[in-house]
Amino acid sequence: MMDTLHDKVVLLTGGGGGIGRAIAETLARQKMKIILLGGKSREKLAETAGIAGQYAPVEIIPGDLTDPEFMRCAVEKAAGIFGGTDILINNAGVAQSTRFEDVSAEEFDRIMNINFRVPFFLTRQVLPHLKRSGHATIINIASVVSHAGYPLQSVYTASKHALLGFTKSIAREYWQENIRVHAICPGGVYTDMVKISRPDLSPQGMIQPQEIAQIVLFFLQNRGNAVIDEILVHRVNKEPFTV
């Protein structure tokens, strides 16, 4: 039996476009309340809020999640907007296309901070609120490179391996407290980032953001006793994909 999601409160990072925007719209159609957390472009968040807000309440809290004080204050503000937090979706991330020997310390820190450190500590900040929910779920959007390694993506790959390992650990640590933790590992999603960085690629045979959003919805509607800590999503063309 599918769980009803009406009025559940979702905290979503990376909501300015691509997968995040598709998730926001899909969950809003289920009458879930959405908070778009973080992101420096208020305009992009507002665009997503305008789309998803046709179906359910959507609020935005723009800012830099790599700033610990902003993260702490934003989580508390988010919990107060709709009276709690039921679901955390760590979707924000940055890609890489740099030869290993050319990776600077600054690039290393930026990618590791956004792709792994932010989800790690954001989850810790949100956890007390999730413990008060009867539908507590954490979903981390990882990548096919959580399992594989492609050229020019050394730091990106390391960050996504770390995110997947973190997911697997806490999925088992908090299962008995009725908190479900999942990772989705997609390969080759046709987002705006890909359109800009790889204009040579065609959407044919690539995963669409809406497909990832439907997997998120499946997780939220089906909270059984099984611990499904990850789903690996291949595109039709399984040739190595780099950005």
pLDDT digits (tens, 9 = 90+) for 21-65: 999 999 999 999 999 999 989 999 999 999 999 999 999 999 999
165-223 confidence digits (pLDDT tens): 999 999 999 999 999 999 999 887 756 666 555 556 666 667 899 999 999 999 999 88
Checking if the pLDDT of 3 tops 90, the result is no
Please confirm, yes or no, whether 174 is among the known catalytic residues. no
3-state SS assignment for residue 98: coil
35 — phi, psi (to 5°)?
A: -120, 120
> What is the rounded average pLDDT for all residues in the chain?
89
- Closest by alpha carbon to 59, among 33, 84, 80? 33
Instruction: Report DSSP state, residue 117.
Output: I
Residue of 55, 156, 174, 190 with catalytic role: 156
The pLDDT score that the predictor gives to residue 228 is: 58
Element (H, E) at 215: helix 209-221
Answer whether 0.75 is exceeded by the pTM.
yes
Residue of higher predicted confidence among 190 and 115: 115
119-172 confidence digits (pLDDT tens): 999 999 999 999 999 999 999 999 988 988 989 999 999 999 999 999 999 999
